[in-house]
């Protein structure tokens, strides 16, 4: 089977037909099989799986040509496998990876992606991708697509976005396999650009404080040979690991190491067995603890084309970390500080329920507000959230917010809830606008109908509530007349509600109070303005059993 091999097979297919090289006379391959154990991962497929990068101690990113729902449309003509996509997996204590999923966001395209490298803060990722321009090229183009390096921002949720090309990409040559120095100021990569000593060499560029790159520099003849040098990796102790078929080895590509500080002087060492075999061995990475990691190989006995292998040392050894202190990635978070208040008087609402829902529809926070009337939630950076607030006797409210990409940012939100009820003395009433009737009339006009529809909605929301519709008049006119008029108005409102809402008659009753319950001092014999009298001409809806309303 033709191999997708090392991802550079897109343009260097002829290289992969090379026979295994014999070791030089007198050269002995070191054997560390008594120190290191290797294991073929459970997730390896029949196709090609390789190129692990540590996102953190529990999560890895790797590439695969496996068939799944995200990778079913096109095959690469080089080996008739699907195009390489990135996958994210959970690394277990024993190094195996049992659960994985396709990388979300912009990291995967319709062509190849492979070999990611993260900065120490896990806020940026450098990776290899086909250098394609959809408006100019397609798979049917006569001109072969090249490989290129791309840089992306990494969100708090692990998604890649804001992808930009490495400025030294070209349609004339290939770049790929990026890795970063410990301080993040130097990027090493593989290329066949002008100035290579062999088929592919390892180069480096400095990354300035503004994010620009210096001119690529070849690592020189101590590292690079007339063959292929590929897959560089800077270990936590500063050692440069890479694969080569130009240095003395066991077969095709072997894994080598050298001191990245003294590249022109330091010796290049074959790391030996069990890492190297008579086939291709490449994409070596170490964890920060320096005693475990992953590499890739197409050695006999695997599950597919290229397989990922986990290795670990059985012997503890002192780890000396050069240049920078090893730190775990800092997780970017924002703090959402919120209050729930009454829209009418801006008082804090104790007992309100707050729910926060992420962009995937998952409830990530749910709490009842205490006596402070406030809530606090640590949110991921650069995310969208929906905040829902509710409380008995209030209309529920929703608010969408976006967090920032700034560490430890505080986002203050206030949600005001509109009350559905009001207290008048010891009574609890449905909160509606005053219903006005024409003089000496009890028919339901348009304005009254709008308010009564709010009462109907309230009764639907609280199906066990019992309402009394009570009408009141001002003190002007005979007392008996006012009682009769208020009773007719109360009955008219209740009939409208019963007819429109189709409620059982046991849930609502009508009562006329006449002029017996004024809300001010405007009784018989007291001179009041028309505005003061109008406050007593009202229809109220008393909640007979307020205990029936549940959260």
pLDDT tens for 34-66 read 889 999 998 888 888 999 999 987 889 999 887
Give the tens place of pLDDT for each residue, 288-300.
888 899 999 999 9
Q: How far apart are CA 383 and CA 477, in angstroms?
A: 64
Q: How far apart are CA 82 and CA 49, in angstroms?
A: 12
- Classify domain 333-417 at the CATH superfamily level: Immunoglobulins (2.60.40.10)
- Copy the structure tokens of residue 437: 């009737």
- What's the pLDDT score for residue 81? 59
pTM for this model (two decimals): 0.55
Provide the phi-psi class of 400: left if phi over 0, else alpha when psi is between -120 and 50, else beta. Answer: beta
Q: How far apart are CA 36 and CA 271, in angstroms?
A: 11
- What's the pLDDT score for residue 4? 39
Listed residue (124, 166, 160, 164) closest to 147, CA to CA: 166
Q: How far apart are CA 238 and CA 324, in angstroms?
A: 10
CA angle 97, 99, 100 (to 5 degrees): 95
Maximum Cα–Cα distance across the chain: 126
Q: How far apart are CA 270 and CA 254, in angstroms?
A: 7
Question: Regarding beta strands 409-417 and 333-342, do their DSSP bridges make them parallel or antiparallel, or are they unpaired?
Answer: parallel
Question: Is the N-terminal amide bond of 274 cis, ω within 30° of 0?
Answer: yes
Q: How far apart are CA 103 and CA 61, in angstroms?
A: 8
Exposure string (b/e) for 55-89, b if CB count within 10 Å is 16 or more?
beeebbbbbbbbeeebbeeeebebbebbbbbbbbb
- What's the pLDDT score for residue 330? 62
> Domain limits of the chain?
8-14+28-137+150-313, 333-417, 421-548
Q: For 69, what's the count of Cα atoms within 13 Å in the CB-facing half-sphere? A: 4
Q: How far apart are CA 474 and CA 518, in angstroms?
A: 7
- What's the pLDDT score for residue 53? 93
- Classify domain 421-548 at the CATH superfamily level: OmpA-like domain (3.30.1330.60)
Rounded to a whole number of angstroms, the CA Rg of the chain reads 37
- What's the pLDDT score for residue 319? 37
- What's the pLDDT score for residue 188? 97
Q: How far apart are CA 311 and CA 281, in angstroms?
A: 13
- What's the pLDDT score for residue 321? 36
Three-class SS string for 220-280?
A: CCCCCCCCEEEEEEECCCCEEEEEECCCCCCCCCEEEEEECCCCCCCCCEECCECCCCCCC
- What's the pLDDT score for residue 549? 65
Q: Which fold has domain 8-14+28-137+150-313?
A: Neuraminidase (2.120.10)
Q: How far apart are CA 400 and CA 387, in angstroms?
A: 6
Listed residue (539, 546, 398) closest to 458, CA to CA: 546
Q: How far apart are CA 472 and CA 353, in angstroms?
A: 36
Mean pLDDT of each 10-residue bin along the chain, 551 residues long: 39 32 55 89 87 89 76 50 82 83 80 88 91 48 73 87 91 93 94 93 93 93 94 93 92 90 83 93 92 93 89 58 45 87 86 90 88 83 92 88 87 89 84 76 83 89 90 88 90 90 89 89 89 84 80 40
- What's the pLDDT score for residue 189? 97
Residue 162 sits at φ, ψ, to 5 deg, of 55, 50
**Contact of 200 with 12, CB cutoff 8 Å:** yes
Query: Strand pairing partners for 380?
Result: 333
């Amino acid at each position: 089977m033709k191999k997708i091999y090392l991802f550079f097979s897109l343009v260097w297919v002829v290289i992969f037909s090379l026979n295994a090289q014999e070791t030089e006379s007198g050269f002995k391959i070191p054997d560390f099989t008594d120190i290191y154990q290797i294991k073929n991962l459970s997730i390896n497929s029949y196709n090609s799986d390789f190129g692990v990068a540590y996102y953190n101690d529990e999560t890895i990113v790797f590439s695969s040509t496996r068939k799944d729902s995200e990778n079913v449309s096109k095959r690469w003509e080089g080996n008739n496998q699907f195009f390489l996509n990135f996958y994210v997996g959970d690394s277990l204590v024993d190094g195996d990876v049992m659960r994985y999923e396709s990388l979300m966001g912009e990291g995967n395209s319709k062509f190849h992606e492979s070999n990611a490298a993260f900065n120490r803060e896990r806020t940026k990722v450098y990776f290899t991708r086909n250098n394609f321009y959809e408006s100019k090229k397609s798979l049917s183009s006569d001109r072969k697509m090249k490989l290129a390096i791309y840089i992306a921002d990494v969100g708090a949720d692990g998604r890649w976005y804001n992808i930009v090309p490495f400025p030294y990409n070209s349609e004339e040559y290939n770049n790929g396999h990026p890795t970063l120095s410990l301080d993040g100021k130097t990027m090493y990569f593989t290329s066949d650009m002008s100035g290579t000593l062999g088929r592919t060499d390892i180069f480096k560029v400095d990354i300035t404080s503004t994010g620009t790159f210096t001119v690529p520099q070849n690592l020189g003849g101590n590292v690079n040979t007339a063959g292929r040098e590929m897959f560089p990796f800077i270990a936590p102790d500063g050692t440069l690991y890479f694969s080569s078929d130009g240095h003395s080895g066991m077969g095709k590509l072997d894994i080598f190491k050298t001191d990245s500080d003294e590249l022109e002087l330091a010796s290049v060492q074959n790391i030996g067995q069990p890492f190297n075999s008579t086939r291709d061995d490449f994409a070596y990475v170490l964890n920060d603890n320096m005693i475990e990691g992953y590499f890739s190989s197409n050695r006999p006995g695997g599950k597919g084309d290229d397989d990922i292998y986990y290795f670990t040392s059985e012997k503890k050894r002192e780890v000396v970390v050069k240049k920078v202190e090893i730190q775990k990635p800092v997780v970017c978070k924002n703090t959402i500080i919120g209050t729930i208040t009454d829209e009418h008087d801006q008082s804090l609402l104790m007992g309100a329920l707050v729910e926060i829902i992420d962009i995937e529809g998952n409830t990530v926070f749910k709490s009842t507000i205490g006596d402070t009337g406030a809530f606090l939630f640590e949110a991921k950076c650069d995310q969208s959230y929906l905040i829902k607030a509710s409380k008995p006797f209030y209309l529920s409210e929703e608010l969408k917010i976006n967090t920032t990409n700034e560490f430890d940012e505080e986002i203050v939100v206030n949600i005001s809830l509109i009350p559905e009820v009001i207290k008048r003395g010891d009574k609890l009433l449905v909160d509606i606008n005053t219903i006005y009737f024409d003089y000496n009339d009890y028919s339901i006009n348009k304005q009254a109908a709008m308010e009564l529809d709010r009462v109907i909605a309230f009764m639907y929301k609280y199906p066990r509530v019992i309402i009394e519709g009570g009408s009141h008049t001002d003190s002007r006119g005979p007392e008996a007349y006012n009682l009769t008029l208020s009773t007719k108005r109360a009955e008219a409102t209740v009939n409208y509600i019963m007819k429109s809402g189709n409620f059982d008659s046991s849930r609502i009753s009508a009562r006329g109070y006449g002029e017996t319950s004024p809300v001010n001092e405007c009784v018989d014999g007291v001179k009041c303005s028309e505005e003061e009298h109008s406050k007593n001409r009202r229809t109220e809806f008393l909640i007979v059993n307020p205990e029936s309303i549940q959260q």
